[in-house]
Amino acid sequence: MSHTNQTLGEFIIENQASFKYTSGELSRLINSIRLAAKVVNHEVNKAGLVDIIGAAGDTNIQGEDQQKLDVYANTKFIQTMTNRNIVCGIASEEEDDFISINSQDKNHQNKYVVLIDPLDGSSNIDVNVSVGTIFSVYRRVTPVGTPVTMEDFLQKGDQQVAAGYVIYGTSTMLVYTTGDGVNGFTLNPAIGSFYLSHPNMQFPETGRIYSVNEGNYTHFPQGIKDYIKYCQMEEGDRPYTSRYIGSLVSDFHRNMIKGGIYMYPKSSQNSKGKLRLLYECNPMAFLAEQANGLASDGFQRIMEIQPTQLHERVPFICGSKNMVRKAEEFMRLAP
């Protein structure tokens, strides 16, 4: 099939055979994420018009005010995956504990668990800045036929079978991998279909963009401070350009297309940094490595970290291979 104008549905069917677990369940899972993304996109795009922005009054386990769209997105993604009877368990940034899907999967026959950040960057919603959904998929490790346990969710990132994000930006895109490269699909809102617009996405080996919240500079490890000064130094292709949107999906997406590095380091205020390992760092790390990039905590591959808690945080450095390696060099000299 010609890849021009190929829809996401056609792409999934064409590539299903190349996925080693060809039961078709993963394809149905990606299709359910596609549906939920369209539903959430509709609400995100009109957030300014109806009283759906602003805190829902609750706070999530992270102690952050829950925006109404956070709650809405969380509900829609969980509903869609539950109703399609595809997964046996779901963990979400917005849920204190994981959810065992018993309603449809009464005999616990489904094989996949999904971890999700339903609306990352939600503090940007009421200032009309791009936000995103991040998802990570594993095969369960406990026996089929039994209820899922925490063990099914606390798997290393290198065990992921799929990962991706939806970016609700100037256009809405679904970008994902099943371990055979990264492909980006853009939504045509007029007809509600995603089209293959960015086949085989790759990070340039190096880049000239660095993304970090420099407001935290004084609290960073010395190695990060030294790397930031390296980026700013007049030498060779430097100084680099600083670009930081405050939305991981947006900064990652731009850096993957143009080349660049994103950092959310540990600091004297956050000893593990801010980003969550299971539903932010691991999926973005899987995408990064599938797109010829790297993702580390400054010392080791993100995807080799053994999780111990559902909402644990890790320092995160991710992007163009040569830039991540240079940042790691500075971290080794001054951790």
Site for ligand P6P, rule CB under 6 A: 120-121, 123, 213, 246-248, 274-275
Residue nearer to ligand P6P on the CB measure, 121 or 221: 121
Q: Which amino acid is at 296?
A: S
CB of 24 to ligand P6P, least distance (A): 33
CB of 140 to ligand P6P, least distance (A): 27
CB of 21 to ligand P6P, least distance (A): 30
Residue nearer to ligand P6P on the CB measure, 74 or 247: 247
CB of 261 to ligand P6P, least distance (A): 13
Residue nearer to ligand P6P on the CB measure, 206 or 216: 216
Distance, in Å, from the CA atom of 2 to the CA atom of 327, rounded to the nearest integer, reads 41
Residue nearer to ligand P6P on the CB measure, 89 or 319: 319
- Using alpha carbons only, give the angle 164, 284, 250 rounded to the nearest 5 degrees: 80
Token reading at 317: 């450095």
Residue nearer to ligand P6P on the CB measure, 41 or 211: 211
Distance, in Å, from the CA atom of 138 to the CA atom of 112, rounded to the nearest integer, reads 6
**Bond before 143 cis per omega within 30 degrees:** no
> Which residues, including other chains, have CB under 8 Å from residue 14's CB and lie 6 or more apart?
1, 6
CB of 166 to ligand P6P, least distance (A): 13
Instruction: Write the burial class of residue 197 (CB in 10 Å: 0-12 exposed, 13-18 middle, 19+ buried).
Output: middle
Residue nearer to ligand P6P on the CB measure, 97 or 214: 214
Cα dihedral sign for 119, 124, 127, 130? Answer: negative
Contact (CB, 8 A) for 182 and 327: no
CB of 332 to ligand P6P, least distance (A): 24
Residue nearer to ligand P6P on the CB measure, 198 or 243: 243
* Residue 16 CA: distances (Å) to CA of 26, 37, 156, 164: 9, 21, 24, 17
What DSSP designation does 165 have?
Answer: E
CB of 270 to ligand P6P, least distance (A): 9
